[in-house]
Structure 1
Amino acid sequence: MLAVNYTTLRDNMKTYMDKITDDYETMIVTRKDNKNVVIISEESYNNMMENIYVMGNKYNYDWLMESKAQLENGMASVHDLPEVEADE
């Protein structure tokens, strides 16, 4: 996690935004009076929101944990999928 003050961020905005998106970094922007903000990429945000949704619903969570246990216990199988033509 990166921490940078507002002035440094403002002077190097592109560099920091590239680091956040390219390296999946999280950045804390420090401000006066402890009114800090956190910057993350849109991809990281979307992933976080999806995880909150899946883990926040008991039925989804239970299904996911059951699937994980099946995989860990060797109860998974691999199947070849048929090729699909682009115009189908």
Structure 2
Amino acid sequence: MEAVAYSNFRQNLKQYMKQVNEDADALIVTAKDAEDTVVVLSKREYDSLQESLRILSNSYLMEKIRRGDTQFRKKQFQTHDLLEVKEDD
């Protein structure tokens, strides 16, 4: 994760915003006062983190994931061909 000083970030805001979106990596923006340091990340990455937190905090869903993972490791699963869906013209 790259770090940049606030003044440099401000002067090159457009470039850093583009970089954060293209690299899918967060950027640390440092300030003189460490309490004012922030992390900048793309909306896509933010949304992904939020969804991960929602899933991890849902005990019912996590249990289903763990059960499926156990079944997969024990090869207790079935495979199916994908269905082709024809779109109406």
Q: Percent identity?
A: 33
Distance 1:49 1:13 in 2: 24
TM-score, normalized by length of structure 2?
0.86
Cα deviation for residue 15 of structure 1 reads 2.0
Distance 1:43 1:75 in 2: 34
Corresponding residue for 1:79? Answer: 80
Letter in 1 for 2:9: L
Corresponding residue for 1:7? Answer: 7
Aligned residues: 88
Letter in 1 for 2:53: I
* Structure 1 runs (4+) greater than 3 angstroms displaced: none
Distance 1:86 1:11 in 2: 49
Q: Please, which moves more after superposition, 71-80 or 6-15? A: 71-80
Letter in 1 for 2:73: E
Which ranges of structure 2 fall in alignment gaps of 5 or more residues? none
Letter in 1 for 2:41: I
TM-score, normalized by length of structure 1?
0.87
Distance 1:7 1:46 in 2: 27
